Chain A
Amino acid sequence: MNARTRLASLARWETLLVLLLIGTLIWGTARSPYFWQGSNFSVATSTFMERAIMALPMTLVIISGEIDLSVASILGLSSAILGVSWEAGFPLWFCIVLALLTGAAAGLVNGLLVTKVGLPSLVVTLGTLALYRGLAYVVLNQQAISDYPPAFTRFGYGNVNGTQIPWSMLLFLALLAVFAVILHRSWVGRQIYAAGLNQEAARFAAVQVARIKIWLYVASGTMAAVAGIVFTARISSSRADNAVGFELDVIAAVLLGGVSIFGGRGTLLGVLLSLAVVATLRNALAITNVGPEIQGIAVGGLLILSVLGPNIARSLSRGRSRPIAGTRGLRPEPEPGR
């Protein structure tokens, strides 16, 4: 596969996502008069922003050849820390910083276990998924904290004055710009792709693979904390079970965006489009009174199609199948060279 055909197939994939998005929009408009309205846009986006924010670092983590399953639990833990520290009487800005530091620390633990101890990231973050959620329960002890100041909660569900654009969306767009520059314009981004495609060759080219991955996990944890703050503000409540299961939506959106689960391939543009598709689809289904169960089935189906699609195409073109998942960091056996 040379660069041009890969670019072509990528372009096709992103075109497909655009078509899928347009299709969903048309379908939603046809089904409900309320769909194509500014207020619905505001609702659809604001309820999805936490997941969108977490999808940004997740894209980089997966491209580097690893995965982070613990993001939703970090969200819950930092939300819990925010609540407990607020209730203890600290100023809000201090509570927010504390929550962010909690997220960063949780990410650092993930990163150290993956790089320094050398455990597979799938196992490490599966473990911390349970661990961090458990800590959230310990911290909050079954209570819900919801006496947040109105200025804070308005940030969670409110729109920019005079528009239908949620504040959280502005935050997301700013973060998107930062991550896009890092991944697609900076030299660190190039090193992330190199690490995902061939970790050993990257190491032999003086790329500090371990350090990069640690920072990616710290970023992932920190963004999960940001999402936790947004989520807490939106529902005006810190509960230990905040955002349970969000990691699946996040990873689904990243993979649907064309990022290879084996690392080294994918773009933030694709992820942005797939976020739009998933958010629109869920909203269109919800607005036509389709329950969350069916929504889950639809999103799950899309995900499987997105992962299967390229694999089927590849195995058809090569006349043989390849393993879906390897062991370490979910990567397949290296292909023998030409």
Chain B
Amino acid sequence: MDAAAEGGTLGNGRARTLEPEMRTRMDRLTPPQAAEPGSTGPELAALDAPTAAAVVELVGVTKGFGAVQALRGVDLALYPGEVHALVGENGAGKSTLVKMLAGVHRPDSGILRVGGVETVFHGPLDARNQGVAVIHQHPTLFPDLDVAENVFMGRQPRDRTGRVDWRTMYREVERLLGTLGVRIGVRTPVKALSVADQQLVEIAKALSLNARVLVMDEPTASLSAREVDRLFAIVRQLRAQGVAILFVSHRLEEIFALSDRITVFRDGAHVITAPAAELTTEATIRHIVGRKLEALFPKEHAEIGQVVLEVRGLTRTGVFRDVGFRLRRGEILGFFGLVGAGRTEVARVLFGADRADRGEIRLDGHPVVIDSPLMALRHGIGYVPEDRHGQGLVLDFPISANVTLPILARVSRLGLLDRRREREIAADFVKRLQVKAAGLDAPATSLSGGNQQKVVLAKWLATDPKVLILDEPTRGIDIGTKAEVHRIVSHLATQGMAIILISSELPEVLAMADRVVVMHEGRVTGEFGRAEANQENVMFAATGQTAAPVGSGVGGNGLA
């Protein structure tokens, strides 16, 4: 603990003292692609005046929302032909910065320069017209319109009579997608596309607008490993064409695989900007959290007991088939697979949100029928869903009401709510899980993603479950809280809880799970004990044993 604190101060201090020096050095170093032929040559001549070369530059930008200071005088410069990663915990100010570049927020103070000229974005359209395109985590397209219509939304090519020139439009979009090397039908309605393909449509749209800056906000959050590889290939291609890319992500492996420079924000302030080659994962995490993390995935030893849950031949037609596994007391059973493998769908059936067509579920040896979440609750099964906002929380409810929602009957007397008891229960879990909030009456909307996740966890822990299903419990939450969630989960197992951990993050599964069940396209394709599970065999099973060994995108790098 002492060592950690010391390391933290050291890290901080070094970052601050090094910063000016580092920046001058970087000015000479960047943009990293400078030497490559075919990149934007002329601007690079002015090596001593880097501001002239930056496509977009923020200097001393601040932004506050009420009492909260989201950005405290941050600097950021994006150069043509670089992939610039922006990392930081939730609440570090990344989203605010992205929204500023998108023209949604205007800085309270500070300067925004585009192409060296000071400017103000009066709105999203303004940002777009000045060459800044933002790809959001969830694509913002018109689901019922086709790909080409989305790309040219609001500026369709016209023929002489003023009608939409469909042929030109489709030809142009086909050409655009061709340059990206992707095969998507231009007449396909967008709702029929995967999230990954929708992102590519957004990118095509940005390119058709001649975007010089592409801001990507957590683009890989819902992509499979293969889709991530494809996206990265396209990003690299755009980089070679001289586009400046700001890549916002929580996934350090991806950041190191892709980016040239890394900027870390903490609590709305700029901590460091450095070439990726000069940073290690360890050092980056230290900058992000401001302290040294002993271990990112603490796993306590838990006594593994009797079988609690047994699933045999579980089938939901068209979704998954013949799924079977056993879960024991004190065990963490990892569920790994690519997006769409059917893990969440299995969990939904176990929780009674969907019905199985065939198969058997046994709890403590007895066959059970789970036809509703209420039935699951009565059988002692809890489910922390993947979609926190849609399924996990009633965002407008205060923390206390969210925690007690599944156990209202228990905090009531003669049908009437006992508010004191309710607050006691909520306060107990808020304290145990260290939820950071203004108070029990604070609405869930006011919390950061990590703390919202803790509230969802608290809600299900309050039901005192025998089996707890966690669906991507750490997706989109910051590294510090992530470690806390891991500690909590690990601790629950030591108390005899049986846990199913669904995760798309392989290092997390490998570090946390006692056993790993791997799914691919609705079937279980592998089951590994803790000792035998490793990157290669798990990934091999997850890709259905047909694909080549895993690409660079998800390689390990000492996180575990």
Question: Which chain A residues border B446 with CB–CB below 8 Å?
Answer: 2
Cβ–Cβ contact A208 & B374, under 8 A: yes
Cβ–Cβ contact B392 & A190, under 8 A: no
- A63-71, A92-100, A195-203: which lies at the B interface? A195-203
A206-B406 contact given A187-B417, A190-B401, A200-B390, CB 8 Å threshold: yes
Is the C-beta of A117 less than 8 angstroms from some C-beta in chain B? no
- A108-116, A233-241, A330-338: which lies at the B interface? A330-338
- B46-54, B321-329, B407-415: which lies at the A interface? B407-415
Is the C-beta of A181 less than 8 angstroms from some C-beta in chain B? yes
Question: Which chain B residues border A204 with CB–CB below 8 Å?
Answer: 351, 353, 373, 383, 385, 391-392
Cβ–Cβ contact A205 & B406, under 8 A: yes
Cβ–Cβ contact B415 & A205, under 8 A: no
Is the C-beta of B16 less than 8 angstroms from some C-beta in chain A? no
Interface size of A by CB at 8 A reads 30
Question: Which chain B residues border A198 with CB–CB below 8 Å?
Answer: 390, 393-395
Indicate with 1 or 0, residue by residue over B82-108, a CB within 8 angstroms of chain A CB atoms. 000000000000000000000000000
* Smallest CB separation, B382 vs chain A (Å): 9
Question: Which chain A residues border B412 with CB–CB below 8 Å?
Answer: 186-187
* Smallest CB separation, B423 vs chain A (Å): 14
Is the C-beta of A61 less than 8 angstroms from some C-beta in chain B? no
Residue of B138, B389, B401, B411 with most partner-chain A CB within 10 A: B389
Question: Which chain A residues border B486 with CB–CB below 8 Å?
Answer: none
| A176-232 CB contacts (< 8 Å) to partner B | 181, 185-191, 193-194, 197-198, 200-208
Q: In the complex, A202→B374 CA distance in Å?
A: 11
Indicate with 1 or 0, residue by residue over A48-66, a CB within 8 angstroms of chain B CB atoms. 0000000000000000000
Q: In the complex, A337→B159 CA distance in Å?
A: 41
Cβ–Cβ contact A185 & B416, under 8 A: yes
* Smallest CB separation, B348 vs chain A (Å): 9
Cβ–Cβ contact A2 & B442, under 8 A: yes
| B430-447 CB contacts (< 8 Å) to partner A | 441-443, 445-446
Q: In the complex, A337→B477 CA distance in Å?
A: 14
Q: Across the interface, name the chain B residue whose C-beta is closest to A265.
A: B396
Question: Which chain A residues border B395 with CB–CB below 8 Å?
Answer: 197-198, 337
| A1-42 CB contacts (< 8 Å) to partner B | 1-3, 6
Question: Which chain A residues border B445 with CB–CB below 8 Å?
Answer: 1-2, 337-338
Among candidates B385, B390, B398, B408, residue contacting A187 with C-beta atoms closer than 8 Å? B408
Q: In the complex, A294→B114 CA distance in Å?
A: 60
Is the C-beta of A264 less than 8 angstroms from some C-beta in chain B? yes
Cβ–Cβ contact B442 & A3, under 8 A: yes
Question: Which chain B residues border A200 with CB–CB below 8 Å?
Answer: 390-391
Q: Across the interface, name the chain B residue whose C-beta is closest to A188.
A: B415
A186-B390 contact given A197-B396, A204-B353, A264-B396, CB 8 Å threshold: no
Q: Across the interface, name the chain A residue whose C-beta is closest to B390.
A: A200
Among candidates B377, B392, B415, B417, residue contacting A201 with C-beta atoms closer than 8 Å? B392
Question: Which chain A residues border B401 with CB–CB below 8 Å?
Answer: 190, 194
Q: In the complex, A205→B395 CA distance in Å?
A: 13
* Smallest CB separation, B132 vs chain A (Å): 20
Is the C-beta of B459 less than 8 angstroms from some C-beta in chain A? yes
Indicate with 1 or 0, residue by residue over B63-83, a CB within 8 angstroms of chain A CB atoms. 000000000000000000000
Q: Across the interface, name the chain A residue whose C-beta is closest to B383.
A: A204
Cβ–Cβ contact B391 & A201, under 8 A: yes
A3-B443 contact given A206-B373, A206-B374, CB 8 Å threshold: yes
Q: Across the interface, name the chain A residue whose C-beta is closest to B413.
A: A187
Question: Which chain B residues border A205 with CB–CB below 8 Å?
Answer: 373, 394, 405-406, 459
Question: Which chain A residues border B152 with CB–CB below 8 Å?
Answer: none
Q: Across the interface, name the chain A residue whose C-beta is closest to B140.
A: A336
Among candidates B376, B415, B443, residue contacting A206 with C-beta atoms closer than 8 Å? B376
Indicate with 1 or 0, residue by residue over B356-399, a CB within 8 angstroms of chain A CB atoms. 00000000000000001110110000010100111111111110
Cβ–Cβ contact B392 & A187, under 8 A: no
Q: In the complex, A67→B221 CA distance in Å?
A: 38
Among candidates B373, B388, B408, residue contacting A203 with C-beta atoms closer than 8 Å? B373
| B108-137 CB contacts (< 8 Å) to partner A | none
Q: In the complex, A189→B412 CA distance in Å?
A: 12
Question: Which chain A residues border B398 with CB–CB below 8 Å?
Answer: 3
Question: Which chain A residues border B443 with CB–CB below 8 Å?
Answer: 1-3
Q: In the complex, A200→B388 CA distance in Å?
A: 11
Q: In the complex, A206→B389 CA distance in Å?
A: 16
* Smallest CB separation, B131 vs chain A (Å): 24
A207-B442 contact given A186-B416, A187-B415, A201-B392, CB 8 Å threshold: no
Q: Across the interface, name the chain B residue whose C-beta is closest to A195.
A: B394
Among candidates B372, B416, B417, residue contacting A208 with C-beta atoms closer than 8 Å? B372
* Smallest CB separation, A195 vs chain B (Å): 9
Question: Which chain A residues border B417 with CB–CB below 8 Å?
Answer: 185-187, 189-190
Question: Which chain A residues border B377 with CB–CB below 8 Å?
Answer: 206
Question: Which chain A residues border B374 with CB–CB below 8 Å?
Answer: 206-208
Question: Which chain A residues border B389 with CB–CB below 8 Å?
Answer: 334, 336-337
Cβ–Cβ contact A201 & B390, under 8 A: yes
* Smallest CB separation, A331 vs chain B (Å): 13
* Smallest CB separation, A49 vs chain B (Å): 27
Indicate with 1 or 0, residue by residue over B455-479, a CB within 8 angstroms of chain A CB atoms. 0000100000000000000000000
Question: Which chain B residues border A3 with CB–CB below 8 Å?
Answer: 398, 441-443
* Smallest CB separation, B304 vs chain A (Å): 28
* Smallest CB separation, B71 vs chain A (Å): 15
* Smallest CB separation, A213 vs chain B (Å): 15
Among candidates A2, A6, A186, A337, residue contacting B415 with C-beta atoms closer than 8 Å? A186
* Smallest CB separation, A147 vs chain B (Å): 43
* Smallest CB separation, B142 vs chain A (Å): 13
Indicate with 1 or 0, residue by residue over A250-286, a CB within 8 angstroms of chain B CB atoms. 0000000000000010000000000000000000000
Question: Which chain B residues border A197 with CB–CB below 8 Å?
Answer: 394-397
Q: In the complex, A190→B406 CA distance in Å?
A: 11
A: which residues have CB within 8 A of B?
Answer: 1-3, 6, 181, 185-191, 193-194, 197-198, 200-208, 264, 334, 336-338
Q: A3-B441, A334-B390 are in contact. List 8 more A-B contacts (CB 8 A).
A: A3-B398, A190-B408, A194-B401, A197-B396, A197-B397, A201-B392, A206-B377, A206-B406
Query: Which 10 A-B residue pairings sit nearest by Cβ, starting from the closest?
Result: A187-B408, A205-B405, A206-B377, A206-B374, A337-B389, A206-B373, A204-B391, A187-B412, A205-B406, A206-B406
30 contacts between A and B (CB under 8 A): A1-B443, A1-B445, A2-B443, A2-B446, A181-B416, A194-B397, A194-B401, A194-B405, A197-B394, A197-B395, A197-B396, A198-B390, A201-B391, A201-B393, A202-B394, A203-B353, A203-B373, A204-B353, A204-B392, A205-B373, A205-B406, A206-B374, A206-B376, A206-B406, A207-B374, A208-B372, A264-B396, A334-B390, A337-B389, A337-B395
